[in-house]
Amino acid sequence: MRNRTGRATRQMTQGETMARAATKSPSRASSATSATKRSTRSTKTAKATADVPSNEALVGYYKQMLVIRRFEEKAGQLYGMGLIGGFCHLYIGQEAVVVGMQAAIGEGDTVVTSYRDHGHMLACGMEARGVMAELTGRIGGYSKGKGGSMHMFSREKNFFGGHGIVGAQVPIGTGLGFRHKYQKTDRVSLTYLGDGAVNQGQVYESFNMAALWKLPVIFIIENNKYGMGTSVQRAAAGPSLAERGHAYGIPGEEVDGMSVLAVKAAGEKAVKHCRAGKGPFILEMKTYRYRGHSMSDPAKYRTKEELNKMRQEHDPIDNLRRVLMEQGVAEDALKKVDREIKDLITDAADFAQQSPEPDPSELWTDILVDA
């Protein structure tokens, strides 16, 4: 495999993936921080996630959420400096969703999402360096600079993109579920979509197929209240997005998407359902994005009060920090985490600026496999 980030990486063979899938690795949960803290993970994390997570696991979630938050803040800065261009959709505010879901799955489970994908990739264990360098359009990026913010992928980390056409990832995620079943694994497909995307027709074609064939797909609707400038109320009929699978017999639940623990618990339930061969599950995550839809959106369609209330009362990171303090985790330990993350993000930003632009010859590669 091409070495993107200055470290040797290697494409796992299908066989290896399957072998690792068989022994649920604890490393998934905290893999977002792998660049700095590979050694701190222990098997305790996985065992503890069954019920009340251990302090160590909680710190892991805190860390992953903060990695995403700091990464996105840095991306916003680099965008402001003109180092990132085009479309760039930040995930700030929604961190608990991907981190909680990632804590509920295991090795070999797959993830696919839309263009608001940085958080998903970091949570999947993709390296901050490679993601940031894609944002700056450099050869060290996950797509060699050809894809940009919306279009990244990692076979190794089971992340299947990064899709810019609203709703397009939903049938793709259904196909990932098909593969898990076809290969007789008990792996699940996490298929993320937005509250705006739920109004696309292919979502319902996917619901029907997934239910009909009992595919292990968890459709995770990230309801952040807006699809660009359009509020859910103005775009979506019906009382609840979680119920949109009702006609197909797909169970659905509304989840507090601002609480990593609520997400994890709901995720575990859905994963169990899928692994037992009962077909798809829908989770509607009630969440919120703090920034505009993309970097060019001043978000004038909502009030400052609405935003401030979410930030002050429901921030997923502040909330978990409070839990950690209550659990007796020392403030110093959290400060140390903060520092490590700062270093990780600084390193990623440096890498993203130092990595060269793609060579002109790259224009002609990766178009067809054989021609």
Partner 1 sequence: MAVMTYADAAKTTLAEEMRRDPLVWCLGEDLGRGGVFGQYKGLPEEFGPQRISDAPISEAAILGAAVGAAMTGTRPVVEMRFADFALCAVDELVNQAAKARYMFGGQTKVPLVVREPMGMWRSSAAQHSQSLESWYTHIPGLVVVCPATPHDNRGLLKTAIRSDDPVVYMEHKNLWALEGEVPDGDPIPFGVARIARAGTDVTIVSWSATVHAATEAAESLASEGIEAEVIDLRTLWPWDKRAVFASVEKTGRLIVAHESVQVGGFGAEVAATVADALFGKLKAPVKRLGSPRVPIAYAPPLEDMLRVTPAKIAEMARTLVQQ
Ligand X SMILES: Cc1ncc(C[n+]2csc(CCOP(=O)(O)OP(=O)(O)O)c2C)c(N)n1
| Residue 196 found at the interface with ligand X (CB under 6 A) | yes
Only one residue has tokens 């710190």, namely: 59
Q: Which residues contact 197 (CB under 8 A, 6 or more apart)?
A: 114, 166, 167, 170, 203, 227
CB atoms within 10 A of CB 64: 28
116 binds, among ligand X, partner 1, Mg ion, none (CB under 5 to 8 A by kind): ligand X
Residue 320 binds ligand X, judged by CB under 6 A: no
| Cα gap 111→32, rounded to integer Å | 14
Q: How far is the CB of 195 from ligand X (least distance, A)?
A: 4
Cα(57)–Cα(23) distance, integer angstroms: 19
> Looking at 227, 257, 267, 292, which residue binds Mg ion (CB under 5 A)?
227
Cβ 89 to ligand X, closest distance in Å?
6
Q: How far is the CB of 227 from ligand X (least distance, A)?
A: 3
Q: Are strands 189-194 and 217-223 parallel, antiparallel or unpaired?
A: parallel
Least Å distance, CB 209 to ligand X, is 20
- Torsion sign, CA atoms 183, 188, 192, 195: positive
Which residue from 20, 164, 211, 299 is in contact with ligand X, where contact means CB under 6 A? 164
Give residues with Cβ within 8 angstroms of 239, minimum separation 6.
Answer: none
Residue 267 vs residues 49, 97, 148, 260: alpha-carbon distances, Å? 12, 10, 29, 10
Q: Facing residues of 255 across strands?
A: 285
**Closest separation in Å from C-beta 225 to partner 1:** 14
Between 195 and 268, CB nearer to Mg ion: 195
CA distance 60 to 187: 23
Residue 345 touches which of Mg ion, ligand X, partner 1, none (Cβ within 5-8 Å per kind): none
Write each residue from 187 to 216 as x if it is in contact with Mg ion (CB under 5 A), else as -, in one continuous string: -------xx---------------------
Residues lying near partner 1 in the complex (CB under 8 A): 85-87, 134, 137-138, 143, 145-148, 150-151, 163-167, 196-197, 199-201, 227-230, 234-236, 301, 357-358, 360, 362-364, 367
Looking at the Cβ atoms of 194 and 267, the one nearer to ligand X is: 194
Size of the site for ligand X (CB under 6 A): 14
Cβ count near 331 (within 10 Å): 10
358 binds, among partner 1, ligand X, Mg ion, none (CB under 5 to 8 A by kind): partner 1
Residue 95 or 109 with smaller CB distance to Mg ion? 95
Selection from 40, 60, 59 nearest residue 327 by Cα: 59
Q: Which does 119 bind (CB under 5 to 8 A by kind): ligand X, Mg ion, partner 1, none?
A: none
Among 158, 224, 287, 355, binds Mg ion (CB under 5 A): 224
Kind of pairing between the strands at 226-227 and 230-231: antiparallel
Q: Please name every residue paired with 190 in a beta bridge, in sequence order, or none if there are none.
A: 111, 218
Q: Which residues pair with 111 in a beta bridge?
A: 159, 190
Q: Is 295 in the site for ligand X (CB under 6 A)?
A: no
93 binds Mg ion (CB under 5 A): no
Bridge partners, residue 223, by sequence: 286
Q: What is the contact surface with ligand X in residues (CB under 6 A)?
A: 116, 164-166, 194-197, 222, 224, 226-228, 293
Q: What is the contact surface with Mg ion in residues (CB under 5 A)?
A: 194-195, 224, 227
